[in-house]
């Protein structure tokens, strides 16, 4: 889930069942976000003068947001969140998104990744050429992004995989997961929660991805757990870790990028003829 401008991020950690399925119609960013937010951070530092009922940690978070060059760049470029630049940078490096591709975006709210995916797959209804499609999923509401279908539900619900499959209507070329659990402040616990969400997203990706497809998911520094890494290497030709420049330097956040999906081959039936 991306970092909203001045709203503390929500989560996709157990919640309610399906609330809404919506085809998008509003306009968003243009997808040309590079990793450079340079000019956005050269102004005077903004200080939060009063807490106004906020806790110390909330005040610090707000001050950090107000002085973040990527937050300023996102406002300037029309993106829902600074997280748009994370996906843009990873796509520039690993070439994940292409015109005409079908993309699944898990933990999509507030929509920064969805905007980049829509623009780079040519999914916007106003676009010309080979059209892509983006399916976005989150437990929290999200304003529509043109070229994407939005499914408001808890991906951990047992019924979620079938609902997402139905909306996809085919094998996605890329499964993106920016899902995150509420932080506890206890790093080992937070790491385990993030890895659990990554494993859930990976299980679904392995079941639905098109051959040669890609999987991108949020993890924490320390990388993936041994079992998860083994599964990734078994199912993809390349597995790498990435920390985009747009990811805050003091954050433990990073991403696993797996490309070249290899579907498991069905075993041949045994010959039982006499």
**Cβ(136)–Cβ(1) below 8 Å:** no
Bridge-based pairing state of the strands 102-106 and 174-177: parallel
Q: How far is CA 234 from CA 27, 148, 207, 255, 264, in A?
A: 39, 31, 14, 18, 9
Query: Cα(38)–Cα(54) distance, rounded to whole angstroms?
Result: 30
The DSSP code sequence of 159-170 is THHHHHHHHH-S
**Across the chain, how many H-helices and E-strands are there?**
7, 8
The catalytic position among 130, 218, 243, 245 is: 218
Token pair belonging to 177: 């997961």
The question of whether 45 is a catalytic residue gets the answer no
Using alpha carbons, select from 96, 98, 104, 97 the residue that is nearest to residue 205: 104
Q: Which contacts qualify for 55-63: CB closer than 8 Å, 24 or more apart? A: 58/8, 61/8, 62/6
Which residues carry out catalysis? 218
């Amino acid at each position: 889930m991306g970092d909203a401008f001045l709203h503390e991020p929500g989560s996709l950690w157990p919640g309610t069942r399906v609330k809404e399925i919506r085809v998008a119609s509003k306009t968003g960013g243009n997808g040309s976000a590079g990793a450079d937010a340079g000019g956005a951070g050269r102004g005077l530092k903004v200080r939060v003068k009063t807490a106004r009922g906020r806790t110390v940690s909330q005040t610090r978070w707000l001050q950090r947001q107000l002085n973040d060059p990527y937050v300023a760049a996102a406002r300037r470029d029309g993106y829902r969140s600074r997280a748009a630049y994370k996906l843009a940078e990873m796509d520039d490096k690993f070439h994940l998104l292409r015109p005409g591709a079908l993309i699944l975006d898990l933990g999509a709210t507030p929509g920064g990744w969805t905007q980049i995916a829509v623009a780079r797959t040519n999914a916007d209804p106003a676009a010309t050429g080979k059209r892509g499609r983006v399916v976005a999923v989150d437990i929290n509401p999200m304003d529509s992004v043109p070229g994407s279908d939005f499914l408001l539900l808890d991906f951990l619900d047992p019924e979620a995989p079938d609902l997402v499959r139905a909306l996809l209507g085919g094998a996605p070329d890329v499964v993106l997961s920016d899902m995150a659990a509420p932080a506890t402040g206890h790093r080992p616990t937070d790491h385990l929660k993030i890895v659990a969400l990554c494993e859930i997203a990976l299980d679904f990706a392995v079941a639905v991805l098109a051959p040669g497809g890609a999987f991108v998911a949020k993890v924490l520094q320390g990388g993936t757990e041994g079992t998860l890494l083994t599964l990734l290497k078994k199912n993809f030709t390349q597995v790498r870790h990435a920390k985009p420049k747009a990811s805050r330097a003091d954050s433990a956040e990073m991403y696993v990028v797996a490309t070249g999906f290899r579907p498991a081959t069905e075993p041949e039936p045994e010959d039982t003829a006499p």
